[in-house]
Amino acid sequence: MIRVYAFVSDVDRLPALAGVDGAPLERHDGDVVAIVSRHDRPAAADPRGDAVAHGLVVEALAGLAPAVLPVRFGETFRDDEALDCALRARSDEICSALARVRGCVEVGVRVAGSALERGAERASTGRAYMATRLALLAERDAIVHELHERLDAAARASVQTERGAFEASYLVERVRVGEVRAVVDRFAASHPELTVVCTGPWAPYSFGGPT
């Protein structure tokens, strides 16, 4: 069984660490370059540990290659022939995605209105609570929209997730990561009523989409 970690371009060495189950990493050269490990049995019964090992390989690759396209955890192929067949079918898509993320990393930003929400909790009735909460959320959204516009202007691409709080990922050129962090820091300092979290840089998990 072959486990795939990521597709890469222009990488001249592999990370100095093992993959899932301690298996050595290999290059699989074809229409695109895949970083893989080989296994003679299914993964051990430790999915969390395996996921951590997978993620460590991907992040290490992000420090070695100008373009890294992470593959979701658990993507496996029966043998080289099955992997080659899949890569031939998607080589154009993967190459396009590698070009899109080249020289970039992912930065995540999450904004929640914890202090604003406490204002809604002081409402005397359920109707007043809902009205206050909706008004506060609208206020937060208007404030955060300005942050998103600034970050989006500094990023190559962005993806937003609606989970009750503002949450977005930005595809940022490595040389602009400091600029993006400075924008977030200034925003957080200007809005102490909001909880602002900035994470990364990470490998661009949200922007490849080949698997």
Look at 125 and 63; give whichever has higher pLDDT: 63
CA nearest neighbour of 107 among 161, 159, 163:
159
Q: What integer pLDDT is reported at residue 31 of this predicted model?
A: 81
Helix (H) or strand (E) holding 53: helix 47-62
Distance of alpha carbon 162 from alpha carbon 141, whole angstroms: 11
pTM > 0.85: yes or no: no
pLDDT tens-digit profile of 107-158?
Answer: 999 998 655 555 545 555 566 656 666 666 677 777 888 899 999 999 999 9
Cα dist. 93→25, 30, 31, 209 in Å? 24, 14, 11, 9
CA nearest neighbour of 147 among 201, 199, 198:
198
Token output for 149? 């516009």
Mean pLDDT of the region 162-175: 88
Tell me the domains of the chain and their CATH numbers: 2-101 (no CATH), 104-202 (3.30.70)
SS3 45: coil
Q: What integer pLDDT is reported at residue 114 of this predicted model?
A: 58
Distance of alpha carbon 59 from alpha carbon 17, whole angstroms: 11
Q: What integer pLDDT is reported at residue 164 of this predicted model?
A: 65
Percent of the chain residues topping a pLDDT of 70: 83
Q: What integer pLDDT is reported at residue 210 of this predicted model?
A: 45
Token output for 174? 């490595």
Q: What integer pLDDT is reported at residue 40 of this predicted model?
A: 87
Side chain identity at residue 208, one-letter code: G
**Rounded to the nearest 5 degrees, what angle is found at the Cα of 49, between the Cα atoms of 97 and 6?**
15
The answer on pLDDT for 211 being more than 90 is no
CB 32 within 8 A of CB 98: yes
Look at 46 and 76; give whichever has higher pLDDT: 76
The answer on pLDDT for 80 being more than 70 is yes
* Mean pLDDT, the chain, whole residue set: 87
